[in-house]
Chain A
Amino acid sequence: MIMGIVMALAAGSLISVQTMFNNKVNEAVSSQTTTALVLGMGFLASFCMGLVFEGKEYFTLGPMKPWFWFSGLLGIGVVTCVVRGVKLLGPSSAISIVMASQLICALWWDSVGWFGLERVPFTLQKAIGAIVLIGGLILFKAKPKRGQKFERVPQ
């Protein structure tokens, strides 16, 4: 239980650090090149981890469907959009919007049962959750009144 929570928290923290690193790479090179580098590194690391955890068995693939080969295009969409969002909005704002959109898409697709997923009904609690989440996001993003524009402290 505790170990699982620690792992989940570690995963979330690593995602943030990764986003920052990717943003740093994107400051020097174009977003296409950043995407290629990020996915290439991810590929190498997953390959190594797979070998470590499964050994020989790693190479015995189950039945492949043709569309599996195109799943990587989603990764391009993810990295390109997130990197550009962070560049334009700054990390905290961009990440909170990404997360809200992520959860709301999941909620929407679950309730219609797309992609062969089991249909999860839309409940009042979920509606409240979505409204609170978006409300929080708006509050976080809202500009202060009377033109106080000093959100960032100059160094």
Chain B
Amino acid sequence: MKGFIYACLGGAFLTLQGVANAVIGEHIGTWQAATITQGTGFVAAILLVWLVGDRSWRNLKQVKLVYRFGGAFAAFILFSNITAFHQNGAALTVSAVLIAQITVTLVMEKIGWFGSAPLRLRPSQWTGVGLMVIGILCLTF
């Protein structure tokens, strides 16, 4: 239940962030907007780490080097997103992004990349994924 609430809030924050990025981007430019939203977020997050006296960053050494750069993908994601938006508009782009996201996550979890045990899906779960894709298409077009 807790995980469900976090996931729902995460989605709400993502949409809010999308709106904020679009508005800020119109005023000061896309890359500037990306830099400012992530830069201020970074400063606030560091402040938070310091305030709660969190020392777990010492364990960062145990994390494989590539994994530490996950955040940097944001810039490439943004770039491809903007390019796609200009070429095809919002509807097609949003659905392509979401469908790729759910498919790739599923495939990665299914083959058990990143250490977790491989996931086995029942036929009803595959139907569920199919329905989600249809729902996304219905919502965005």
Contacts and interface: CB of A to CB of B under 8 A. Distances in A.
Contacts of A115: 19, 23
Given A69-B40, A78-B14, A139-B128, A20 B114 contact: yes
A152 B40 CA distance: 40
Interface in A44-97: 44-50, 53-54, 58, 61-65, 68-78, 81-82, 84-85, 87-97
B100 A13 contact: yes
Secondary structure call for the B interface:
helix
A112 interface: no
Nearest to B39: A43
Contact of A103 (B20, B66, B136): B136
Nearest to B48: A32
Interface in B69-95: 69-81, 83-84, 86-88, 92-93
B97 A15 contact: yes
Contacts of B23: 115-116
B87 A4 contact: yes
A140 B109 contact: no
A65 B113 CA distance: 43
A141 to B, nearest CB: 8
A48 B75 contact: yes
Contact of A16 (B43, B45, B105, B141): B105
A14 B69 CA distance: 12
Interface string A125-142: 110111111111111111
A152 to B, nearest CB: 5
A97 B8 contact: yes
Interface in B1-45: 2-4, 6-21, 23-24, 27-29, 31-45
B73 A17 contact: yes
Given A12-B98, A14-B73, A155-B117, A137 B84 contact: no
Contacts of A106: 15, 18
A4 B3 contact: no
Interface string A100-117: 111111110100000111
Given A12-B101, A33-B56, A81-B10, A46 B112 contact: no
A150 B51 CA distance: 42
Contacts of B81: 7-8, 11
A13 B29 contact: no
A21 B104 CA distance: 14
A139 B124 contact: yes
B36 A42 contact: no
9 contacts: A8-B100, A14-B76, A15-B73, A41-B70, A62-B27, A62-B29, A76-B44, A77-B17, A139-B127
